[in-house]
Amino acid sequence: MTSFISKAPHMEIKYTQIFINNEWHKAGNGKTFPVINPSTGEEICRVEGGTKSDIDKAVEAARNAFRVDSAWRKLEPSARGTLMRKFAELLRRDIAYLAQLETLNNGKTLINSKIDIMGSAACIDYYAGWADKFTGETIPSTPDTFIYTRHEPVGICGQIIPWNYPILMLALKLGPALACGNVVILKPAEETPLTALYCASLIKEAGFPPGVVNIVPGDGPECGHAIVVHEGIDKISFTGSVEVGKKVQENAAKSNLKRVTLELGGKSPLIICEDADVDFAVYVAHEAIFHNAAQNCIAGSRTFVHSKIYPEFIAKSVALAKKRIVGDPFDPNTQQGPQINSQQFKKILNYIELGKNAGARLECGGQKAYDKGYFIQPAVFSDVKDDMIIAREEIFGPVMCVLKFDSYDEVIERANATNFGLVAGVITKDLTRALKFVQELQAGSVWVNTYAAMKFQAPFGGFKQSGQGRELGKYGLEPYYEVKTVVMKLLSKI
């Protein structure tokens, strides 16, 4: 086994405390937790771990920031947008440090960290433009009645983000919430809190009033649960697993029936038709599953390939996977870094064994790559059947599962035979066939002759157990405002 040698720079970790009311705090009970470098398995630092008392403190700060006479509520909507753009500018200013911190803590390649940060700034800019544009409407009525609607912020929003895209998910959730005039309590994943805490310092530097954005690191069962059940929080936005999402929805309903937006898992089909250019299809399918060490809810984790091109597709996919460079995410030649932690690492290796035991053919990869860290060589399975566990459950790791099909009606039925419905992809030169897939695939997004084509102006979310509600685009604003109807009776002249 190859020895791992890290090229990570020595970094000063500037922020490890809880950010409430534009100030840094230690945890109420003195609790801290370790943050691990997934490339080495070694501790980077310790971070304050928020508990119920810290969430109570954050809710109090947020409530004060949301009072009708507060500095935040008195801002012109366009001024909210100006603050957001300033935050975006600071993300770009500090991209070098932030990218290194993201790569150190998350394990994604340095170039991907930079792409994520630029995307985060662009997302904040996009929603800054909406701050003065989400309007109500006037409604026709009788001549002596004036009816109109107002869009008003929901209030205190609890946001719980995952570890696979720490900065990008922070931006996706903060953007619409702040554009609509809400205040936020955000919990980063306990695996990756460092860049979120640095972003807190930029939010303060940008000039946001105290209490508007509060960032409380901590674990899910204690800190996350305290957010979900808190009677003073008006809305929850959660991105994570289906199992935890169900608990979030249940506990939110049992507390104060707070609004809930969920973006959960996926087992997304990518369907490659017989008329596809095989080299192009192999590249798209490769990136669809292996990007970000396959730690993507949108990963193309079920690759359906027409039987006429199946052998060629397998051969070329295996050749490409064998060329994929797995290693130090700080090395510019690296294409794939480590999995996030030892738990995920072991879980993925177990799935690979389950696939082999079920009769799928492991064409390449699937082994630990280095003596340190959580690196796995990208695996390609052929002869995968629909009833195999690796074809049904979300692996969240670098495992390509290739399934064969003969007819298009058949593959649509098979693609839809899952509890998930986040995204789907199809590669074909036939426009009529493409539109048939678009109409019949049960997924929140369908990508034709491309994959992972997410745009900030386009809504994103899932069907079935992949979630509810939408993020991004104009639709992403809707969960963050209330619609108030006003009816005025016009008095007659005396």
And the tokens for 479? 């969960």
Give yes or no: residues 260 and 359 share one domain: no
Give yes or no: residues 279 and 185 share one domain: no
Q: For 255-308, write each residue's pLDDT tens digit.
A: 999 999 999 999 999 999 999 999 999 999 999 999 999 999 999 999 999 999
Structure confidence at residue 169 (pLDDT) = 98
Within-domain flag for 216: yes
Give yes or no: residues 237 and 140 share one domain: yes
Give yes or no: residues 400 and 414 share one domain: yes
Structure confidence at residue 377 (pLDDT) = 98
Within-domain flag for 11: no
Give yes or no: residues 22 and 132 share one domain: yes
Within-domain flag for 7: no
Which residue, 437, 490, 398, is CA-closest to 107?
398
Within-domain flag for 254: yes
Give yes or no: residues 300 and 416 share one domain: yes
Structure confidence at residue 8 (pLDDT) = 84
Q: For 431-444, write each residue's pLDDT tens digit.
A: 999 999 999 999 99
Give yes or no: residues 383 and 397 share one domain: yes
Structure confidence at residue 6 (pLDDT) = 83
Within-domain flag for 190: yes
Structure confidence at residue 50 (pLDDT) = 97
Give yes or no: residues 122 and 197 share one domain: yes
pLDDT < 50 stretches in the chain: none
Give yes or no: residues 212 and 275 share one domain: no
Within-domain flag for 120: yes
Instruction: Report the b/e string of 300-322 with b at 16+ CB within 10 A.
Output: bbbbbbbeebbeebbebbbebbe
SS3 491: coil
Q: Decide if 441 contacts 424 (C-beta within 8 A).
A: yes
Domain that includes residue 342, residue range = 269-455
pTM: 0.95
Residues serving a catalytic function are 263
Return the number of other C-beta atoms located less than 10 Å from residue 34's C-beta: 11
Within-domain flag for 178: yes
Give yes or no: residues 326 and 388 share one domain: yes
CATH number at residue 222: 3.40.605.10
Q: Decide if 328 contacts 334 (C-beta within 8 A).
A: yes
Give yes or no: residues 172 and 316 share one domain: no
Percentages helix, strand, coil for the chain (3-state, rounded to 5) are: 40, 20, 40
Sheet order of strands, 423-427 included: 361-364, 379-382, 399-405, 302-306, 269-272, 423-427, 445-448
Give yes or no: residues 391 and 477 share one domain: no
Task: Round to the nearest angstrom and report the end-to-end CA distance of the chain.
Answer: 94
Q: Considering its fold, how many domains does the chain have in total?
A: 2
Which residue, 223, 208, 219, is CA-closest to 174?
208
Sheet order of strands, 145-153 included: 138-139, 145-153, 481-489
CATH number at residue 371: 3.40.309.10
Within-domain flag for 6: no
